[in-house]
Amino acid sequence: MSDLDEQFLSEARDLLAQAGEDLLALEREPASPERIDSLFRVLHTLKGSAGIMDLAPLGRLMHAAEDLLGAWRSGARAPSPALVDWLLAALDRTDGWLVDFEVTGRLRDEASDEAAALDARLAALCGKPQSGPAVEPPHWAATLLGSVDPAPKGPVLAVEYEPRARCFFDGDDPIDLLRSLPGLIALRVEAREPWPPLEEMDPFACNLRFRALVEGDSSEAQALFRFVADQVRIVPVEARRPPRPSPTHLDEAVIEEQRRLVDEVAADDEAVGRLASAARAAANVLRAFGKAEEAARIEAAGRAAVAAGTPAPLRAALDASGGQAWSLGSTALSTMALRVDPARVDALADLVGELIVAKNALAHLAAQRGKTADAPAVLRALEDQVAGLDRLTAGLQRAVLEIRMMSVGPVFRRFPRVIRDAGRSLGKEVTLILTGEDTELDKTTVEMLSEPLLHLVRNALDHGIETPSERVATGKPALGRIELRAVRSSDGVAIEIEDDGRGIDAEALRRTAIARGLLPPEAATSLSDEDALQLVFRPGLSTAAEVTDLSGRGVGMDAVRSAVEAAGGRVRLSSRPGRGTTCRLELPAGLLATRLLLVRVGEDRFGLPMDRTAETLRLPRSHVRPIQGGSAFVLRDRTVPLVQAADLLGRSHGAADGDPLVIVVAAAQGPVGLVVDAIEERLDAVVKRPEGLVATLPHLLGTTLRGDGQVLLVLDPEGLLA
């Protein structure tokens, strides 16, 4: 990617974010001339960049948006929710194109169709007759149309809906959406990617693609799919399919024909034979035209398709082979670019300068070797230099970490839109208050935050905030409130999501945990209300169909906890029934060193993060009491279960005589005593996430290198005790 491309992408993303903000502000305050001007500037700049980068569809779309805004500015047209929706859809589409551009260096082939479709939608909204060339219907539509009996009389739309893999976590139910699709005359459901074996299938990852034909006009379908507009393509189909523009080259014509054949292969009929022959035919013609590499690629894709029993791999390979591709945008995640304060780079440069001076001094000392009789003086000088290097490397590490810091603003600023769209579909009115957007965190942590926060905010809206009538009935203002705030805490940053909704009933959680067999009844009843609330983060709790008031709360709360903990943070929920719920994520500000406690279990040494250990004590053996096949002890009037680390880790026990050495771990379900053989030292280390083979070991938080070069495994106490 060239510098120009990079600059364009980074600038365009900023402009889009600004445009989204302006637009939502305009919806609240339609007459704000500053916002209209700002939005106008943004669209105009994007249009200009599109011209420079030769991205015609983007230019066309921005031009249409600019026209619309011009009409607002002049008063010729009043802003309406439908027009704001259209502008947001245009911005979303642009965002999708930018992802394509980042990955492939160009816009997807159907971008101009997409721009035309948005144009047409705007024209329809403004009551103008549709203009511009009709959008080409997709290949499969004709096949599907042939199966409809009796043949439809009115206009027909082809709807392709490819839900995001994580759509279930967003609360989407694609089939439920299709139920409401008026005029449905044909539907085909297929696997988007080849099915994995059942054992490997993530039951909460959507791998379906829906292709439907609908009789009627596009506005109803567009309205229905407006919240998943980026995952849907709606194209009019003519009852008699118009001839496709004929390919200019013979090889393209043959490939095109194979593409058509592959489309007709449903995943169920004599798929295998037809896929193999289509792959062979395409490969032959490519070879004949001297495109051996491409031919080999098609053949490989053909084998993959035959093996998987689905045309998808071959279809993708044929699409990549020039001609009109039909795909729904890449879902590749774009990473956030770092904007660095020049002062921070200067500080880094200064440190590097000092490092070079230090290196020269060491070189000078090395040259003294053998030349001077005053060896102790050389040693002293060496020690001084090592101390200096120590200080420098610490400074360098700090400076690099500072460069990686970015504000949570970009993540926070997505939420007004989320609240607006989801609130509208749920019929709830909510004000979102953002505070502390300037708070900085390490880049990887900020990127990680997006999904868990989305989940928590949607939960607050979906399950926390009541409907306006329920709120009024309980004496609350009809307008709900969700607050998203970031604050610096003593050892990092805390992010809180607070709602003033119905809250969570700790007693209901206890009952569910008992019913699901997650906790024995006595353990559950002994939990304080606050500890009981943390049960929502336990896997398996949410699957209880009978706890309807919690349904949906659990899918993903477990995922939230693991994402936050993977970033070295912790998450905690507090709630007052009827008053609201607060979820607090405590995150490390940077990739800081973790304090570890080095413990010995049998012959092996492990690290335990100090922040997860409440205290360590030597427990008189007489204080250990047997309970329910295990043992426990009483710590400050509280019964604390006792477990042998050696048992959990599958190691042999050390000497059983003497008083056990206990580390009290603050686990989700309350304190637990972990018996180890020895506590050796404390050390600061940067813990790396487990990778490769090590990643398959359970209960592992990560690894770190000890001073002697040995790898130290760092345990996840909560995982160990779960």
Partner 1 sequence: MSVRQQGSSLVLEGDCPVEDAEMLADLLRDPSIDGIDWTGAQRIHTAVVQLAILARLPVAGPCGDGFVARWIEPYMVATSEGKG
Query: Which residue has 């989700």 as its token pair?
Result: 668
Q: Is 66 helix (H, G, I), strand (E, B) or coil?
A: helix
Taking CB under 8 A as the rule, does residue 78 contact partner 1?
Answer: no
Say what angle helices 81-104 and 3-28 make with each other, to 10 degrees. 170
Taking CB under 8 A as the rule, does residue 552 contact partner 1?
Answer: yes
Taking CB under 8 A as the rule, does residue 512 contact partner 1?
Answer: no
Alpha carbons within 13 A on the beta-carbon side of 706:
15
Number of CB atoms found within 10 A of residue 709's CB: 6
Which are the contacts of 570, defined by CB distance < 8 A and separation ≥ 6? 564, 585, 586
**Helix or strand (DSSP H, E) at 233:** strand 232-237
What distance in Å separates the CA atoms of residue 105 and residue 97, rounded to the nearest whole number? 10
What distance in Å separates the CA atoms of residue 294 and residue 396, rounded to the nearest whole number? 48
Question: Which of residues 545 and 655 has its CB atom nearest to partner 1 in the complex?
Answer: 545
Q: How far is the CB of 509 from partner 1 (least distance, A)?
A: 15
Q: How far is the CB of 602 from partner 1 (least distance, A)?
A: 34
> With contact defined as beta carbons under 8 Å apart, do 637 and 605 qualify?
no
Question: Which of residues 1 and 175 has its CB atom nearest to partner 1 in the complex?
Answer: 175
Question: Which of residues 269 and 346 has its CB atom nearest to partner 1 in the complex?
Answer: 269
Question: Which of residues 54 and 269 has its CB atom nearest to partner 1 in the complex?
Answer: 269
- Lay out the site mask for partner 1 across 303-322 (x = CB under 8 A, - = otherwise): ------x-------------
> Which region, judged by CB under 8 A, interacts with partner 1, from 222-230, 525-533, 550-558, 704-712?
550-558
Among 11, 383, 522, 546, binds partner 1 (CB under 8 A): 546
What distance in Å separates the CA atoms of residue 426 and residue 317, rounded to the nearest whole number? 41
Among 324, 551, 631, 639, binds partner 1 (CB under 8 A): 551
Q: How far is the CB of 601 from partner 1 (least distance, A)?
A: 33
Alpha carbons within 13 A on the beta-carbon side of 492:
22
> Which region, judged by CB under 8 A, interacts with partner 1, from 91-99, 228-236, 260-268, 405-413?
260-268
Taking CB under 8 A as the rule, does residue 178 contact partner 1?
Answer: yes
Q: How far is the CB of 457 from partner 1 (least distance, A)?
A: 19
What distance in Å separates the CA atoms of residue 664 and residue 560, rounded to the nearest whole number? 25
| Among 190, 287, 180, residue whose Cα is nearest residue 228 | 180
- How does DSSP classify residue 688? B
35-50 burial, b at 16+ Cβ within 10 Å, e below that, comes to bbebbbebbbbbbebb
Taking CB under 8 A as the rule, does residue 530 contact partner 1?
Answer: no
What distance in Å separates the CA atoms of residue 714 and residue 606, rounded to the nearest whole number? 6
Question: Which of residues 206 and 598 has its CB atom nearest to partner 1 in the complex?
Answer: 206
Question: Which of residues 229 and 550 has its CB atom nearest to partner 1 in the complex?
Answer: 550
Question: Which of residues 178 and 399 has its CB atom nearest to partner 1 in the complex?
Answer: 178
What distance in Å separates the CA atoms of residue 500 and residue 503, rounded to the nearest whole number? 8
Question: Which of residues 29 and 199 has its CB atom nearest to partner 1 in the complex?
Answer: 199
Taking CB under 8 A as the rule, does residue 450 contact partner 1?
Answer: no
What distance in Å separates the CA atoms of residue 477 and residue 620, rounded to the nearest whole number? 57
User: What is the footprint of partner 1 within residues 263-292 (CB under 8 A)?
Assistant: 266-269
- Edge-first strand order for the sheet with 208-215 is 184-191, 208-215, 156-161, 232-237
Among 201, 223, 332, 387, binds partner 1 (CB under 8 A): 201
> Which region, judged by CB under 8 A, interacts with partner 1, from 193-201, 354-362, 691-699, 706-714?
193-201
Which are the contacts of 478, defined by CB distance < 8 A and separation ≥ 6? 429, 468, 469, 471, 472
Q: How far is the CB of 488 from partner 1 (least distance, A)?
A: 37
Q: Is 266 helix (H, G, I), strand (E, B) or coil?
A: coil
Q: How far is the CB of 163 from partner 1 (least distance, A)?
A: 8
Q: How far is the CB of 194 from partner 1 (least distance, A)?
A: 11
278: phi > 0 → left, psi -120 to 50 → alpha, else beta; which? Answer: alpha
Q: How far is the CB of 551 from partner 1 (least distance, A)?
A: 6
> Which region, judged by CB under 8 A, interacts with partner 1, from 126-134, 253-261, 551-559, 675-683?
551-559
Taking CB under 8 A as the rule, does residue 545 contact partner 1?
Answer: yes
Q: How far is the CB of 299 from partner 1 (least distance, A)?
A: 24
> Which region, judged by CB under 8 A, interacts with partner 1, from 24-32, 90-98, 536-544, 595-603?
536-544
CA-based R_g, the chain, Å: 31
- Lay out the site mask for partner 1 across 144-173 (x = CB under 8 A, - = otherwise): -------------------x----x----x
Q: How far is the CB of 162 from partner 1 (least distance, A)?
A: 13
Q: How many residues bind partner 1 (CB under 8 A)?
A: 36
Among 204, 380, 391, 697, binds partner 1 (CB under 8 A): 204
Which are the contacts of 454, defined by CB distance < 8 A and separation ≥ 6? 170, 414, 418
Taking CB under 8 A as the rule, does residue 515 contact partner 1?
Answer: no
Q: Which amino acid is at 10?
A: S
Among 340, 418, 555, 624, binds partner 1 (CB under 8 A): 555
Question: Which of residues 404 and 561 has its CB atom nearest to partner 1 in the complex?
Answer: 561
Phi, psi of 342 (to 5 degrees): -55, -30
Whether residue 671 is preceded by a cis peptide bond, meaning omega within 30 degrees of 0, is: no
What distance in Å separates the CA atoms of residue 307 and residue 300, rounded to the nearest whole number? 11
Q: How far is the CB of 208 from partner 1 (least distance, A)?
A: 6
| Sign of the torsion angle spanned by Cα atoms 539, 541, 542, 544 | positive
Question: Which of residues 272 and 472 has its CB atom nearest to partner 1 in the complex?
Answer: 272
Among 89, 126, 187, 418, binds partner 1 (CB under 8 A): 187
> Which region, judged by CB under 8 A, interacts with partner 1, from 188-196, 384-392, 577-585, 616-624?
188-196
Q: How far is the CB of 161 from partner 1 (least distance, A)?
A: 11
For the record, the structure tokens of 52 come out as 């420079």
For the record, the structure tokens of 386 come out as 């090592």
| Among 635, 620, 625, 618, residue whose Cα is nearest residue 676 | 618
Taking CB under 8 A as the rule, does residue 198 contact partner 1?
Answer: yes
Which are the contacts of 372, defined by CB distance < 8 A and separation ≥ 6? 378
Give the residues lining the site for partner 1 (CB under 8 A): 163, 168, 173-176, 178-179, 184, 187-189, 191, 195, 198-199, 201, 203-204, 206-208, 266-269, 309, 542-546, 551-552, 554-555
